[in-house]
């Protein structure tokens, strides 16, 4: 987990099956964002306009769990293109709220939420053209690919994110303090 | 009844039996009854009644003779003739055969050869009466030297002397633990307590094991006699036979035997006119495998939830209702009468190393002869499978044998010549266990076997300790994944780590031994696991392999959706 | 009062005869994690987090049940023990639906705190996600099976302290459930005295006070000791 520090660190953030709260926490870094931008290039994520996940990314922070086929495919690309992959927040780390649906069957879920609910939503193979298929179970990232570091919390407060980023920028492994690694 | 009257009664009974011109023994243990032994017995009785004017025929329902896959079995016993054993009897055939014997033209249909290796190669000591006497008839047991050992113990031995004899015989626990029985009894004898208890563990729960059931169904008095001797030797006045709830016939026969023995003065107050009193009660299990574990078994006897408590304290110090208690397997008790009757040398002369005497195995699985066998300790697996068991059906290759059920492991083909004794089986990564012996051929998938046993342990975990309760589920899920094709090698690392966790931290033997089938299949058949995981194929062709690892799930889901097989995964 | 001296983690410590290793360790400031153990209740030995190494004994011992004896050499924090503790916590987190973010005891939970303490920042095992119900039939309290770790503190509190014996475990293995009055809704229980002690002793969010906000769901664990002390003083 060493990162070349001669140049700016290429940082990506990704939003999978989550609420974006972890990204809000990232923005809660406030004035430290100014310091951060002197050290990193934000090359992908909800905060920048990049259509494709770039190659040779140093660190990728992934928020959210793996809930559908698109997440699955994107996560594999991310893993292939990132030196260090960090699970950001409880959904990425445990499945959390996104995984609350795992107690039931996907078909029941869709029936309850969409088909029996108000309004009409696309059903059957036609829908697959437009919307990604849901996985039978929502999974945390490390159940799909290797993950290098974990920042638990819902959302992880900005102190945790800052502590983890600091370590990564120094080329050290992420080792959060006891009070910074609680779930929830 | 006192000793003299007992001896006199035995003499009378023997005389009666030897003058009986024809005795027909119908095996009426669970396997033969399920194959139709009841109707066979009725047919034989009808034929006997037809000839009753001319010759007296005694039709007897006996316990298990052994070759269960050949049942129903009928033995014709006539003075001056060798026993004729007939297999796969139907009512018509049995009638014809008996009529033939009575007219001196015994037919050869379905006659088992007198030197059938399955029977001839055994050493039947504990099973000596099984299939030979009516388990519900005390006289039959008495005529076979029954209760002679108890009489001898009460008359000629001090309690200490009985313990010493048992110690000298080298007998070790037949439930699988292998703790020296004599030593256990000495501990109880020396223990201080207001009351002491003797418990027979008949909660046989291993899949494929039926030794204890057969013994309880076929020779219940032998267990009672062994327990009474134990009571005398240890100073206990109360015994319990804990019978698995799924064995109603064994429980019924134990009940009847206890009642009959009490009526005859062989159990209860002042046994055989001696100062020794000993009562036995039957307790029925309620369907929990963990109640075979001694602390859970005691909880169940006391009417509590069948859950283990940590040892120490051991039952010898703190057992039933806090009093000193000894718990032995029913087979162990079955070994006791011959030790006292014939001397400890007989048992000590059989066997190998520190494993003395014989062991009963329930031979089943992919082997030609299925059934109950008793062989000297140290017999090789090859002898059991190929000589006694007749080999693998269809000429398939032997792959492995599972001993000790879900707590044991498998023995691979390279160890066919291994001696079946406590120490050696442990060295091979399995255990002696209670005697379940499941033979597997090349058509068996070892991952599937491990998965089966883990499913069993998961279902039977009592839930008290977290490593066993939650660990068995995680292990089962991974094994299930290997067999459905969705496992990854990372999971294999977790599996092996979980095995070690459970071995070291589980509260009782169930959790600590639950990883054994996994560890032993991994030890001998790791390549099979890897073929499932890396090559997505089951070498034995057993596993379904219908799933894919999660990283390939995207394509798989899209294909399923395209093929119209979507199970609601997509919009 | 007789004293025993023994080594814990190479430190010479002393305790009273009859005390468990756990008690001696804690009195000497050596922390051994537990979830099912609670001072004042009979030890249960179920969570297996307090397993320690005793020199000369092949098997690990549960500190909450093992008596401290003269001259023992005990190790409570070897790499192996820490690894097993982390795994047990992971197994517990995966067993039911411990979604801390939406749990009423978030921040006051013993399981959550222990995970952080042991460095469990992710769970390697399958989340089982069982579909479990909640029992909200009781007027003042709720029972959420999703958070239960089957430590049986509630069962033991109810039988040993309150004497009501309302709680028991039904089922076995992974299907074990805490159940009131041999499987009745809690609110229909005729034995429950409504005392709420079980709620105070619960290590997780399985038993909670209705209407309490996350911030309010702080347990009063010393409650139990107070009851015990008062009983002792009144000679009962």
Measured in degrees and rounded to the nearest 5, phi and psi for residue B180 equal -60, 125
CB contact under 8 A, B473 and C172: no
CB contact under 8 A, A106 and B568: yes
Instruction: State how far residue C88 is from chain B, nearest Cα, in angstroms.
Output: 6
Counting the structural domains of chain A, the total is 1
Nearest-CA residue of chain B relative to C89?
Answer: B466
CB contact under 8 A, C173 and B507: no
CB contact under 8 A, C173 and B463: yes
34-73 in chain A: CB under 8 A from chain B:
69, 72-73
pLDDT at residue A129, as a whole number: 63
Confidence of residue A125 (pLDDT cuts 50, 70, 90): low
Domain boundaries, chain B: 20-114, 145-345, 353-443, 445-571
Residue A88 is encoded by which pair of tokens? 């950001």
pLDDT at residue B571, as a whole number: 41
Tell me the chain B residues in contact with residue C169 when contact means C-beta distances shorter than 8 Å: 305, 463
Topology match between the domains B20-114 and B353-443? no
Say yes or no: B312 contacts chain A, CB-CB below 8 A.
no
pLDDT (tens digit per residue) in A82-92: 999 999 999 99
Measured in degrees and rounded to the nearest 5, phi and psi for residue C16 equal -90, 150
Say yes or no: B554 contacts chain A, CB-CB below 8 A.
yes
Instruction: State how far residue A96 is from chain B, nearest Cα, in angstroms.
Output: 19
pLDDT (tens digit per residue) in C153-165: 999 999 999 999 9
- The reply to whether CATH 2.40.50.1020 applies to domain B145-345 is no
Instruction: State how far residue C176 is from chain B, nearest Cα, in angstroms.
Output: 6
pLDDT at residue B54, as a whole number: 83
pLDDT at residue C231, as a whole number: 77
List the single range of A171-175, B47-51, C13-17 with lowest mean pLDDT.
B47-51
Res A34 pLDDT > 50:
yes
CB contact under 8 A, B551 and A108: no
Mean pLDDT over each residue of chain C, to the nearest integer: 94
User: What's the CATH code of the domain at A55?
Assistant: 3.40.50.700
Tell me the chain B residues in contact with residue A105 when contact means C-beta distances shorter than 8 Å: 567-568
pLDDT (tens digit per residue) in C56-89: 999 999 999 999 999 999 999 999 999 999 999 9
Tell me the chain A residues in contact with residue B549 when contact means C-beta distances shorter than 8 Å: none
- Chain C neighbors (3+ CB pairs < 8 Å): A, B
Res C234 pLDDT > 80:
no
Instruction: State how far residue A126 is from chain B, nearest Cα, in angstroms.
Output: 8
Confidence of residue C212 (pLDDT cuts 50, 70, 90): confident
Q: Is residue A159 part of a domain?
A: yes
CB contact under 8 A, A154 and C129: no
Q: Is residue A89 part of a domain?
A: yes
Confidence of residue A1 (pLDDT cuts 50, 70, 90): very low
Tell me the chain B residues in contact with residue C150 when contact means C-beta distances shorter than 8 Å: 463-464, 466, 469
**Gap between the Cα atoms of B455 and B474, Å rounded:** 10
B75 forms beta bridges with B25, B85
User: Are the C-beta atoms of B387 and B361 separated by less than 8 Å?
Assistant: no
141-160 in chain C: CB under 8 A from chain B:
149-150
3 state SS for B413-433: HHHCCCECCHHHHHHCCCCCC
pLDDT (tens digit per residue) in C87-98: 999 999 999 999
Instruction: State how far residue C104 is from chain A, nearest Cα, in angstroms.
Output: 11
Burial C109-133 (b: 16+ CB within 10 A, else e): bbbbbbbbbbebbbbbbbbbbeeee
Q: Give, to the nearest 10 degrees, the angle between helix B159-169 and helix B330-342.
A: 100
pLDDT at residue C1, as a whole number: 66
- Chain B neighbors (3+ CB pairs < 8 Å): A, C
Say yes or no: C176 contacts chain B, CB-CB below 8 A.
yes
Instruction: State how far residue A135 is from chain B, nearest Cα, in angstroms.
Output: 6
Nearest-CA residue of chain B relative to C90?
Answer: B470
**Gap between the Cα atoms of A181 and C117, Å rounded:** 9
Say yes or no: B552 contacts chain A, CB-CB below 8 A.
no
Tell me the chain C residues in contact with residue A182 when contact means C-beta distances shorter than 8 Å: 100, 107, 112-113, 115-116
CB contact under 8 A, B467 and C88: yes
Q: Is residue A105 part of a domain?
A: no
pLDDT at residue A175, as a whole number: 95
Q: Is residue A142 part of a domain?
A: yes
Q: In this predicted complex, what is the ipTM?
A: 0.94
pLDDT at residue B329, as a whole number: 97
Q: Is A135 helix (H, G, I), strand (E, B) or coil?
A: strand
pLDDT at residue B559, as a whole number: 83
Residue C8 burial (CB < 10 Å; 0-12/13-18/19+)?
Answer: buried
Kindly list the averaged pLDDT for each block of 10 residues, start to end, along chain B of length 571: 89 87 91 94 93 88 93 90 92 92 86 91 95 95 95 96 97 92 96 95 93 96 98 97 96 97 96 96 95 96 94 92 97 97 96 95 95 95 96 95 93 95 92 93 96 97 97 98 95 97 96 96 97 96 93 86 62 41
pLDDT at residue A120, as a whole number: 63
Q: Is residue A116 part of a domain?
A: no
Could you say which of 3.40.50.150, 3.20.20.70, 3.40.50.300, 3.40.30.10 is the CATH number of the domain covering B20-114?
3.40.30.10
**Gap between the Cα atoms of B419 and B385, Å rounded:** 13
CATH (residue range B353-443)? 3.10.20.600
pLDDT at residue C78, as a whole number: 97
How many of the other CB atoms lie within 10 Å of CB of B23? 17
CB contact under 8 A, B550 and A72: yes
- The reply to whether CATH 3.40.640.10 applies to domain B445-571 is no
Closest CA to B203 of B261, B254, B237, B169: B254
Which among B305, B309, B469 has the least Cβ separation from residue C174? B469
Q: What domains are there in chain C, each with its CATH number?
A: 3-77 (3.10.20.740), 83-233 (3.30.70.20)
Range of the domain at A87: 9-100+136-175
Percent of chain C topping pLDDT 90: 87
CB contact under 8 A, A178 and C116: yes
Residue A147 is encoded by which pair of tokens? 């993950």
Instruction: State how far residue A121 is from chain C, nearest Cα, in angstroms.
Output: 27
Q: How are the residues of chain A apportioned to helix, strand and coil, as percentages rounded to the nearest 5?
A: 40, 20, 40
Closest CA to B253 of B144, B146, B135, B128: B135
């Amino acid at each position: 987990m060493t990162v070349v520090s001669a140049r700016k660190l290429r940082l990506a953030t990704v939003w999978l099956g989550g609420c974006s709260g972890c990204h809000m926490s990232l923005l809660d870094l406030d004035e430290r964002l100014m310091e951060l931008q002197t050290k990193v290039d934000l090359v992908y994520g909800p905060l920048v306009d990049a259509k494709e996940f770039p190659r040779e990314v140093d660190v990728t922070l992934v928020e959210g769990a793996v809930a559908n086929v698109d997440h699955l495919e994107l996560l594999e690309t991310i893993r292939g293109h990132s030196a260090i992959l960090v699970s950001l927040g409880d959904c990425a780390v445990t499945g959390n709220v996104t995984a609350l649906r795992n107690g039931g069957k996907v078909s029941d879920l869709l029936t309850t939420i969409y088909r029996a609910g108000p309004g009409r939503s696309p059903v059957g193979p036609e829908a697959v053209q437009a919307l990604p298929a849901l996985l039978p179970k929502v999974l945390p990232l490390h159940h799909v690919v290797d993950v290098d570091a974990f920042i638990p919390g819902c959302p992880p407060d900005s102190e945790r994110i800052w502590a983890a980023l600091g370590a990564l920028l120094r080329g050290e492994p992420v080792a959060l303090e006891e009070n910074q690694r609680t779930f929830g | 009844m006192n000793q003299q009257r007992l001896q006199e009664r035995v003499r009378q009974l023997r005389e009666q039996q030897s003058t009986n011109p024809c005795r027909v023994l119908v095996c009426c243990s669970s396997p033969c009854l399920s194959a139709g032994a009841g109707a066979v017995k009725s047919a034989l009785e009808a034929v006997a009644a037809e000839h009753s004017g001319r010759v007296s025929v005694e039709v007897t329902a006996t316990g298990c003779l052994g070759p269960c896959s050949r049942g129903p079995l009928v033995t014709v016993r006539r003075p001056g003739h060798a026993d004729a054993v007939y297999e796969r009897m139907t009512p018509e055939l049995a009638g014809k055969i008996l009529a033939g014997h009575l007219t001196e033209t015994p037919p050869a249909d379905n006659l088992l050869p007198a030197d059938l290796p399955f029977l001839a190669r055994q050493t039947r000591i504990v099973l000596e009466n099984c299939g030979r006497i009516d388990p519900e008839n005390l006289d039959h047991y008495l005529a076979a030297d029954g209760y002679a050992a108890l009489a001898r113990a009460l008359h000629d031995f001090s309690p200490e002397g009985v313990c010493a004899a048992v110690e000298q015989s080298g007998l070790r626990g037949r439930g699988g633990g292998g703790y020296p029985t004599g030593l256990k009894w000495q501990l109880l004898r020396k223990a201080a307590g207001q009351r002491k208890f003797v418990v027979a563990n008949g909660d046989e729960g291993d899949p494929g094991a039926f030794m204890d059931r057969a013994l309880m169904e076929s020779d219940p008095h032998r267990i009672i006699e062994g327990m009474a001797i134990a009571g005398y030797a240890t100073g206990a006045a109360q015994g319990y036979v804990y019978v698995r709830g799924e064995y109603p016939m064994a429980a019924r026969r134990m009940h009847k035997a206890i009642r009959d023995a009490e009526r005859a003065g062989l159990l209860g107050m002042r046994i055989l006119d001696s100062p020794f009193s000993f009562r036995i009660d039957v307790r029925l299990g309620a369907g929990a495998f963990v109640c075979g574990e001694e602390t859970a078994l005691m909880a169940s006897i006391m009417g509590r939830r069948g859950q283990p408590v940590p040892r120490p304290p051991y039952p010898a110090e703190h057992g039933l209702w806090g009093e000193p208690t000894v718990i032995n397997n029913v087979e162990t008790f079955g070994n006791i009468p011959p030790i006292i009757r014939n001397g400890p040398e007989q048992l000590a002369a059989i066997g190998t190393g520190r494993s003395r005497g014989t062991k009963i195995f329930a031979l089943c699985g992919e082997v030609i002869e299925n059934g109950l066998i008793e062989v000297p300790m140290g017999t090789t697996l090859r002898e059991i499978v190929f000589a006694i068991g007749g080999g693998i059906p269809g000429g398939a290759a032997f792959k492995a044998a599972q001993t000790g059920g879900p707590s044991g492991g498998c023995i691979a083909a390279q160890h066919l010549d291994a001696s079946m004794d406590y120490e050696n089986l442990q060295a091979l990564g399995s255990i002696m266990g209670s005697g379940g012996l499941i033979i597997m051929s090349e058509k068996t998938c070892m991952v599937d076997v491990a998965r089966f046993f883990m499913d069993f342990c998961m279902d039977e975990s009592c839930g008290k300790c977290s490593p066993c309760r939650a660990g068995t589920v995680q292990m089962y899920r991974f094994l299930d994944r290997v067999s459905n094709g969705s496992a990854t090698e990372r999971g294999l690392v977790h599996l092996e780590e979980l095995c070690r966790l459970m071995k070291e931290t589980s509260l009782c033997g169930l959790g600590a031994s639950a990883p054994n089938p996994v560890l032993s299949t991994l030890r001998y058949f790791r390549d099979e696991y890897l073929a499932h995981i890396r090559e997505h194929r089951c070498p034995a062709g057993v596993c379904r392999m219908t799933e894919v690892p999660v990283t390939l799930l995207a394509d798989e889901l899209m294909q399923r959706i395209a093929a119209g097989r979507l199970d609601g995964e997509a919009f | 009062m007789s004293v025993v001296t023994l080594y814990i983690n190479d430190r010479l410590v002393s305790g009273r005869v009859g005390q468990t290793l756990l008690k001696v360790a804690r009195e000497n400031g050596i922390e051994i994690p537990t979830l099912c153990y609670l001072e004042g209740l009979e030890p249960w030995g179920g969570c297996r987090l307090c397993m320690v190494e005793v020199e000369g004994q092949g098997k690990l011992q549960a500190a909450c049940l093992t008596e401290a004896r003269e001259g023992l050499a005990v190790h409570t924090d070897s790499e192996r023990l820490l690894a097993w503790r982390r795994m047990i916590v992971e197994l517990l987190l995966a067993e039911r639906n411990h979604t801390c973010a939406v749990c009423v005891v978030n921040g006051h939970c013993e399981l959550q705190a222990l995970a952080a303490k042991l460095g469990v920042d992710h769970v390697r095992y399958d989340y089982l996600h069982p579909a479990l119900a909640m029992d909200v039939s009781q007027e003042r309290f709720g029972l959420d099976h999703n958070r239960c770790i089957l430590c049986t503190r509630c069962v033991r509190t109810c039988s040993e302290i309150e004497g009501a014996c309302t709680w028991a475990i039904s089922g076995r293995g992974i299907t074990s459930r805490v159940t009131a009055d041999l499987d009745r809704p809690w609110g229909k229980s005729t034995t429950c005295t409504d005392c709420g002690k079980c709620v105070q002793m619960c290590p997780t969010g399985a038993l909670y006070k209705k209407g309490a906000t996350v911030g309010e769901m702080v347990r009063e664990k010393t409650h139990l000791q107070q009851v015990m002390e008062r009983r002792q003083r009144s000679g009962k």
